[in-house]
Amino acid sequence: MKIYIDSSDIKEIKNINKTNMVDGITTNPSLIAKQNKNIKLILKEICQEVKGPVSAEVAAISIDDMIKEARILKRIAKNIVIKLPLTFDGLNACSILSRKGYQTNVTLCFSASQALLAAKAGATFISPFIGRLDDIGENGSQLIFDIKKMFDNYKEIKTKILAASIRSAEHFCEVAKAGADIATIPPKLFHNLYKHDLTDKGLKAFLDDWQNTNQKIE
């Protein structure tokens, strides 16, 4: 499973990208707004740092305006992916842009039927939001299982499942088990994934034993 970082903070992205584990980036209007900088400058910096796909979301709601914004965003860098809302106009825009060779990410997916329509529209990625489903008492991770099973039934579907709204290590592991192609996670969660109390205790014990015997690696 590939790992994308859900952030528009270039400092956070650069720090995590040092690990060579970052396969791509997802952004949205809320994340962009936090930086208090022009969207073009933010995305240009990110695309220079990360060579994988970088999702940039349109703010328009009509087909014509979505297409117009997509053209502007695409000129920023070759690895820009146009992020579109899962609405009637968004699906129409996805279909048009996909036929023109744009990479697209259809976002705010909450059902398997929505995912199938996005795939039919030629979406490069579909972004199911599992955390928000959990918020309303549904099983968000089950949606990844359902979409994966559906897509596996049809060889012509090339759309990648990009699991989003991931809020915990448990979510991360669940979507991996479900067969998500990609998980996009906030920087804070990335750093939580490698942490465990027993790891810390074990390392302390090793170092204590080492120091007690005055060992050195020279």
**Catalytic residue among 74, 83, 148, 160, which?**
83
Q: Which residue has the tokens 């990648």?
A: 160
Cα within 13 Å of Cα(167), Cβ side: 10
Helix/strand/coil for 181: coil
Q: What is the pLDDT of residues 119-169, one digit of tens each?
A: 999 999 999 999 999 999 999 999 999 999 999 999 999 999 999 999 999
Which residue type does 15 have?
A: N
Residues 60, 62, 66: CA angle, nearest 5 degrees: 50
Active site (annotated) includes residue 83:
yes
Distance CA 36, CA 34 (A): 6
> What CATH number should be reported for the domain whose range is 2-212?
3.20.20.70
pTM, rounded to two decimals? 0.94
Cα within 13 Å of Cα(65), Cβ side: 8
Q: What is the pLDDT of residues 87-101, one digit of tens each?
A: 999 999 999 999 999
Q: What is the pLDDT of residues 30-84, one digit of tens each?
A: 999 999 999 999 999 999 999 999 999 999 999 999 999 999 999 999 999 999 9
